Amino acid sequence: MDVTKGARLATIIECMPEKSAEPSITDEDAVLVARTRGGEAAAFEDLVVKYSPRLYGMIYHMTSNKEDTHDLLQEVFSKAYRSLPKFKGRSSFYTWIYAIATNMTFNFLKKRKRRATWSLDHLDSGIQNDEAMIDLTHASNPRRQSDVNELQKKLNEAMQALSEDHRVVVTMYDIQGIPHAEISRILKVSEGTIRSRLFYAHKQLQGHLAEFIGE
Amino acid sequence: MNEEEQTRKLVRLKRHETPREGYFEDFLNEFRERHRPESSSQRQALAAGLFMRWRDRRSAVRLLGFGLVYGALVAALVWLPKGNDDDADGHRQPVIYEPDAGGQPTPGSEAKSPRSFRD
């Protein structure tokens, strides 16, 4: 693969419509939380519908495995549902559930590391499952699909090579578009620490993805 | 575009990794299914708790009833004989009229003589 291929693919994909990265945090969440506390289980389901795609993204980019992501996400919502009486409302529901999801993901990754059977072969490469992506790549050049797959594989490996602290900030900031301040509230570390972790993570990623980066 | 920007651009490709269509609907259904037994068992536990409380209360009422009946029986056995003077009279000998030869009543007999009866 020539050195500009990655950059070219990135340019093509950048032209695709963006998915909204920032959740709309409104009083709606507080109302739904209050209704859930009042015994209305359907109100919590509205919160599941609202936040499952974002949390799925965060967990998936941390684990690079769909089955693990699915199970973990179910557990995150179950824990949030059970812990809702303890939710004081000092932070937004969005920050609170994101913090639960990140903590549970960190714990899961620690356990997975101890499992001898797990290896990078278990990484999923889900980008080819994106219909819009397949259409775009196949329509212009059938070979491009294999390039995308290769890039995807390298990206996943590069992400998994990062430490969990670095991977989570890359996931939240670069992939999910969450601002530094919000990441700082979720992870309970300073914004300076977030910026520093991002800097070092990008340096490390550059090394792993050098073949896809043009001059 | 510098290397860091290019790296970030490549990493941003991952935001297009999405689960299959309909995944989140299925996810919600599974979440509902997982929590249905939980809430149903919670309801069962609540119902069992209420039944136990009702049963305990019923037992308490029954126990109180037995206590009251027992108390009433004891009271009847202890107090009623003492409280009725007629019962004391029950120890008295029956009136027997047995005229002896002298026409006097037998000693110890409270029966009146026919003479006095006639009076």
Residue A69 forms part of a structural domain: yes
B14 contacts A206? CB cut-off 8 A: no
pLDDT digits (tens, 9 = 90+) for B45-88: 556 655 666 777 777 788 888 889 988 888 888 876 655 555 44
The band of B89, judged by pLDDT with boundaries at 50, 70 and 90, is: low
Give which of A12, A153, A160, A205 to mutate to test B binding, by max B Cβ within 10 Å: A205
A175 contacts B15? CB cut-off 8 A: yes
CA angle B44, B47, B53 (to 5 degrees): 140
Residue A121 forms part of a structural domain: no
Among chain A residues, CA nearest to B14: A175
Residue A138 forms part of a structural domain: no
pLDDT by residue for chain A (215 residues), tens digit each?
Answer: 454 566 565 555 555 544 444 555 568 899 999 999 888 889 999 999 999 999 999 999 999 899 999 999 999 999 999 999 889 888 999 999 999 999 999 999 999 888 755 555 556 655 445 555 555 445 555 566 677 788 888 888 999 999 999 999 999 999 999 999 999 999 999 999 999 999 999 999 999 998 888 65
Among chain A residues, CA nearest to B25: A49
Give which of A124, A130, A134 to mutate to test B binding, by max B Cβ within 10 Å: A130
Torsion region of B71: left, alpha or beta (phi above 0 gives left; psi -120 to 50 gives alpha): alpha
- CATH number of the domain residue A76 falls in: 1.10.1740.10
What is the Cα–Cα distance from A3 to A9, expressed in whole angstroms?
Answer: 11
Residue A151 forms part of a structural domain: yes
Task: Let me know: does A154 contact A209? Beta carbons within 8 Å.
Answer: yes
Query: Contacts of residue A77 in chain B, CB cutoff 8 Å?
Result: 31
pLDDT digits (tens, 9 = 90+) for B17-29: 889 999 999 999 9
- Which residue has 């903590």 as its token pair? A103
Instruction: Report residue B25 as tokens.
Output: 């609907």
A212 contacts B31? CB cut-off 8 A: no
Task: Let me know: does A94 contact A51? Beta carbons within 8 Å.
Answer: yes
Instruction: Report residue A191 as tokens.
Output: 């914004």
- For B17, other C-beta atoms within 10 Å of its C-beta total 24
Query: Contacts of residue B21 in chain A, CB cutoff 8 Å?
Result: 131
| Domain of residue A22, residue span | 5-116+144-212
Task: Let me know: does A81 contact B35? Beta carbons within 8 Å.
Answer: yes
Minimum-distance CB partner of A202 among B4, B15, B16? B4
Residue A126 forms part of a structural domain: no
The count of C-alpha atoms lying within 13 angstroms of the C-alpha of A47, restricted to the half-sphere facing its C-beta, is 32
CA angle A194, A198, A201 (to 5 degrees): 135
Closest-CA distance, A68 to chain B, in angstroms, reads 13
Among chain B residues, CA nearest to A205: B7
Q: Where are the alpha helices (DSSP H) in B13-108?
A: 23-83, 85-89
Q: Domains in chain A: how many in total? A: 1
Residue A135 forms part of a structural domain: no
Residue A12 forms part of a structural domain: yes
**C-alpha distance from residue A110 to each of A62, A124, A145 (Å):** 12, 19, 34
Look at residue A190 in the predicted model and tell me its pLDDT: 97
This prediction's pTM: 0.65
Residue A32 forms part of a structural domain: yes
Cα end-to-end span (Å), chain A: 14
Task: Let me know: does A176 contact A54? Beta carbons within 8 Å.
Answer: yes
